[in-house]
């Protein structure tokens, strides 16, 4: 690494490759001065290529702020992507809250990089891995307990975003905030850091290394700069980083084994205690599963009909591996309170506070799915244990 010209921002680093010069500009995704840094860097360097830390889908979403209006929530539910969409909304909410406080669009420096490429004729490279693949790889390698811990820490981070001021955001150039939150999982959740940060360091580095031209400006979150500098000198195969994690056989086994075990306990109880014993066990299953699942829907402020249907569906869907209580609850909620165009238009606003998020009809449907499923899972465990104790 050589010294950089004095006219460049302090947070830019120069890397000399065999046939090209790479300038890594570390930014904070909600920093007004990062936008100016991009402008200054382009003016000073006149790069052949500008790489930005966006994938094509995120780039189009940022350019098309009205994309939410076209979302088909029923299709999301039918394709069982509610949890994935909710995770994306939570991360979007974090950046949007910071951006609203500081008067800058989240990721504005990335869009400025694209605008500068268009204005100067530089080649534009969208260097990041597809966000759907990243989320699936982060989520897919976690245990259920790790997923709960991760979700809790993200929610805490959302609440903490209220107290971040402009001075603190500038300090994030040492490390991007969302990535800092995720890197804090390094000891307790090393898989999160590996998939979200380390893998993307390698991915971004390889995209930058392959970029055309002799002088390349890469606009990336500050937390990626060190990793990219280390990885950019070696060729890396991106194919393994673009695959989604293989599905474990155990969820499928458990999905069928637990209902079979419950049914077996009911049959065993019948032969041991007679019809009265079986009726009591079935009553426990219906009441515990139904109450806890419908309580989850109620916590999401679901429509009364949704709560009722959830109570009825949960004891049945818990014994049917092909369907889940949350999906039934979500579809009913979407049917009785189908989001309007206005609701979809208000979705960006809903990402600015926990209250707005909870009360937006689109977000509420996703929350109904997640909380009803959690309630049903808890109900199956409690009711199943209760029935087992009574049977032996």
pLDDT tens readout for residues 359-392: 888 888 888 998 999 999 999 999 999 998 887 7
Look-up of token digits 């009722």: 308
pLDDT at 167 over 60: no
Alpha carbon separation from 239 to 65, 202, 203, 263, 319 (Å, rounded): 31, 12, 10, 44, 39
**DSSP code per residue over 112-132:** HHHHHHHHHTPEEEE-SPPHH
Locate 270 and state its tokens: 């019948």
Nearest CA among 37, 24, 46 for reference residue 205: 24
Range of the domain at 48: 12-71+106-242
Q: 343 and 383: one domain?
A: yes
Contact 388, 268 (CB under 8 A): no
264 and 197 within one domain: no
Does 151 have pLDDT greater than 80? no
Q: 257 and 238, same structural domain?
A: no
d(CA 287, CA 28): 50
Please choose, from the candidates 301, 314, 321, 307, the residue with its C-alpha nearest in 3D space to the C-alpha of residue 361. Answer: 301
Pair (210, 256) in one structural domain? no
* 308-323 residue pLDDT tens: 999 999 999 988 877 8
pLDDT band (50, 70, 90) for residue 104: very low
Whether residues 310 and 341 share a domain: the answer is yes
Check residue 204 and give its pLDDT: 97
Structure tokens at 266: 């009911």
Statement to judge: residues 215 and 267 lie in one domain: no
Residue 230 sits in the same domain as residue 310: no
Q: What are phi and psi of 81, to 5 degrees?
A: -110, 15
Q: What total number of domains does the chain contain? A: 2
316 vs 321: CA distance, rounded Å = 10
Instruction: Let me know whether 211 and 309 are in one domain.
Output: no
Residues 324 and 387 in one domain: yes
Report how far residue 141's alpha carbon sits from residue 118's, in angstroms, rounded to the nearest whole number. Answer: 39
Measured distance CA(93)–CA(319) in Å, rounded? 36
Q: Are residues 218 and 276 in the same domain?
A: no
Q: Is the pTM of this model over 0.95?
A: no
Give me the helices (H) in the chain, please: 32-45, 56-63, 73-78, 82-102, 108-120, 131-140, 144-160, 166-171, 177-183, 190-193, 199-210, 225-231, 249-299, 304-317, 325-336, 341-345, 347-350, 354-359, 361-391
Say if residues 243 and 257 touch (Cβ distance below 8 Å).
Answer: no
């Amino acid at each position: 690494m050589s010294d950089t010209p004095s006219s460049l921002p302090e947070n830019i680093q120069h890397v000399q490759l065999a046939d090209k010069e790479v300038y890594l500009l570390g930014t904070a995704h909600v920093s007004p001065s990062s936008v100016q840094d991009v402008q200054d860097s382009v003016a000073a360097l006149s790069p052949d290529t500008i790489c930005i830390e966006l994938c094509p889908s995120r780039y189009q979403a940022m350019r098309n702020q009205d994309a939410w209006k076209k979302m088909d929530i029923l299709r999301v539910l039918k394709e069982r992507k509610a949890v994935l969409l909710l995770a994306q909304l939570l991360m979007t909410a974090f950046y949007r809250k910071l951006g609203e406080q500081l008067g800058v669009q989240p990721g504005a420096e990335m869009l400025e990089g694209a605008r500068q490429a268009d204005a100067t004729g530089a080649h534009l490279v969208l260097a990041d891995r597809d966000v759907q693949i990243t989320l699936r790889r982060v989520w897919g390698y976690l245990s259920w307990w790790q997923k709960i811990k991760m979700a809790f820490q993200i929610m805490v981070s959302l609440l903490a975003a209220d107290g971040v001021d402009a001075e603190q955001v500038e300090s994030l150039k040492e490390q991007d905030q969302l990535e800092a939150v995720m890197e804090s999982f390094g000891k307790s959740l090393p898989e999160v850091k590996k998939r979200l940060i380390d893998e993307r360091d390698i991915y971004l580095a390889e995209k930058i290394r392959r970029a055309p031209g002799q002088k390349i400006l890469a606009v990336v979150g500050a937390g990626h700069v060190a990793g990219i500098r280390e990885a950019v000198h070696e060729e890396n195969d991106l194919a393994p980083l673009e695959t989604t994690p293989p599905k474990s056989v155990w969820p499928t086994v458990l999905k069928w084994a637990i209902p079979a075990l419950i049914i077996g306990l009911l049959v065993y109880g019948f032969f041991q205690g007679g019809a009265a014993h079986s009726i009591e066990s079935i009553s426990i299953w219906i009441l515990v599963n139904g109450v806890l699942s419908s309580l989850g829907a109620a916590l999401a402020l679901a429509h009364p009909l949704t709560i009722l249907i959830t109570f009825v569906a949960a004891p049945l869907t818990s014994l049917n591996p092909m369907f889940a209580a949350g999906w039934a609850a979500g579809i009913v909620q979407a049917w009785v309170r189908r989001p309007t165009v206005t609701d979809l238009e208000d979705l960006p606003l809903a990402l600015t506070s926990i209250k707005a998020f909870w009360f937006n009809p689109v977000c509420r449907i996703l929350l109904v799915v997640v909380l009803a499923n959690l309630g049903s899972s808890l109900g199956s465990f409690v009711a199943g244990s209760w029935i087992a104790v009574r049977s032996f």
